[in-house]
Amino acid sequence: MADVIGTWIAALLTIAITSLAWKDQPVSKMANHIYIGVVTANSIVQAWQNIMNVGINKILAGEFLYIIAILLGLLTYTRYSKASFWVYRYPIALVMGIGVGTSMRGLVGGSFLDQIRDSFFQLAVPGDAMTSVNNVIFFVILLSSLSYFLFTIRAFRSETAMKFSLLGRYAMMGAFGYSFANTIATRINQYAGRIAFLLIDWLHIAG
């Protein structure tokens, strides 16, 4: 019984949210408000499980240093007090430092050095004209796109250099076309999932 009611509610909510694309009206507004409430609540519930798993359980098991983590976590809520707002800065400063350090150290290898290392093209592949031509094209695409993002180097402001970087802009536009079309595929896929739900689980038409 609970399943049947659940399916009906889910189906009606699906339709209500879809209608939002058409026009903003009372029913879709209600669905939207429920949505915000339940999504926020779920993330709080999951966060709670995380605090238990990574923090409180360890304290119970005797790792008392994790009391500091819990305290720091609680201190974040001082941001709602005007007088002791500054206390909030301690945990956020730690979070910021750890986050920045973690991403910075990985960016050097991941988005700089490894990217260069993977860009050494063999421009003349013996006996494979097609690959050679492609490699020359890709080499030009990469360099021209890269030169498009030079803003403070005067040498790259000559007319030829600007034309070269314009080539990069065109290449990127092509890449955006790919991305755009892929987004359409993503959304159709997701909507297909909803239609499958409506037709199979709710209306039992197809299967």
Could you tell me the two tokens for 47?
A: 């966060």
Q: Which of 137, 99, 108, 109 is nearest to 121 (CA)?
A: 137
**Can you tell me which residue has the tokens 């006996």?**
127
- The nearer residue to other proteins, 163 or 170, going by C-beta atoms, is 170
Could you tell me the two tokens for 73?
A: 């976590």
- The nearer residue to other proteins, 42 or 129, going by C-beta atoms, is 42
CB of 128: closest distance to other proteins in angstroms? 13
Could you tell me the two tokens for 139?
A: 């080499």
CB of 201: closest distance to other proteins in angstroms? 10
Q: What angle do CA 63, 67, 68 make, to 5 degrees?
A: 115
Q: Which of 204, 207, 202 is nearest to 5 (CA)?
A: 202
CB of 23: closest distance to other proteins in angstroms? 10
CB of 129: closest distance to other proteins in angstroms? 14
Question: What distance, in Å, lies between the first and last C-alpha atoms of the chain?
Answer: 21
Asked whether 88 and 76 are in contact (CB, 8 A), the reply is: yes
- The nearer residue to other proteins, 24 or 128, going by C-beta atoms, is 24
CB of 119: closest distance to other proteins in angstroms? 5
